[in-house]
Amino acid sequence: MIDKIKEYITEVEQFTSSDKEEIEAFRIRYLGKKGVLNDFFAAFKSVPNGEKKEFGQAVNHLKNAAQEKVNALKEALESQADQKSIYGDLTRPAEPIPLGARHPISIVKNQIIDIFSRIGFNVSEGPEIEDDWHNFTALNLPEYHPARDMQDTFFIQTDPDILLRTHTSSVQVRYMEEHKPPIRTISPGRVYRNEAISARSHCFFHQVEGLYIDKGVSFADLKQTLQYFTKEMFGKSKIRLRPSYFPFTEPSAEVDVYWGLETESDYKITKGTGWLEIMGCGMVDPNVLKNCNIDSTEYSGFAFGIGIDRIAMLLHQIPDIRMLSENDVRFLGQFKSVL
Measured distance CA(54)–CA(136) in Å, rounded: 109
**What's domain 104-335's architecture?**
2-Layer Sandwich (3.30)
DSSP assignment of 90-136 equals TTSPPPPPPP----HHHHHHHHHHHHHHTTT-EE----SEEEHHHHT
% of residues, the chain, pLDDT over 70: 94
Compute the Cα dihedral for 31, 36, 39, 44 and give only its sign.
Answer: negative
Q: Please, which pLDDT band fits residue 61 given cuts at 50, 70 and 90? A: confident
Higher pLDDT, 236 or 39: 236
CA distances from 127 to 198, 240, 257, 317, 333 (A): 26, 33, 31, 31, 30
Contact between residue 143 and residue 137 where contact means Cβ atoms under 8 Å apart = yes
pLDDT at 147: 64
Residue 250 known to bind ligand: yes
pLDDT at 97: 75
% of residues, the chain, pLDDT over 90: 45
Average pLDDT, integer, range 83-88 = 55
Using alpha carbons, select from 219, 225, 211, 216 the residue that is nearest to residue 183.
211
What type of residue sits at position 310?
A: R
- What are the pLDDT digits (tens) for 130-160? 999 999 999 988 777 776 776 688 888 777 7
pLDDT at 176: 95
Backbone angles phi, psi at 260, to 5 degrees: 100, 175
Q: Please, which pLDDT band fits residue 192 given cuts at 50, 70 and 90? A: very high
Say if residue 177's pLDDT is above 90. Answer: yes
Going from N- to C-terminal start, the domains of the chain cover: 2-84, 104-335
- What are the pLDDT digits (tens) for 306-327? 999 989 988 888 888 999 998 8
Say if residue 82's pLDDT is above 70. Answer: no
Contact between residue 151 and residue 166 where contact means Cβ atoms under 8 Å apart = yes
pLDDT at 330: 85
This prediction has a pTM of 0.69
Higher pLDDT, 51 or 197: 197
Q: Please, which pLDDT band fits residue 70 given cuts at 50, 70 and 90? A: confident
Q: Which of 29-33, 73-77, 294-298 has the lowest mean pLDDT?
A: 29-33
Contact between residue 258 and residue 240 where contact means Cβ atoms under 8 Å apart = yes
Say if residue 303's pLDDT is above 80. Answer: yes
Mean pLDDT (the chain) is 86
Q: Please, which pLDDT band fits residue 1 given cuts at 50, 70 and 90? A: low
Q: Please, which pLDDT band fits residue 84 given cuts at 50, 70 and 90? A: low
3 state SS of 331? helix
Higher pLDDT, 265 or 246: 246
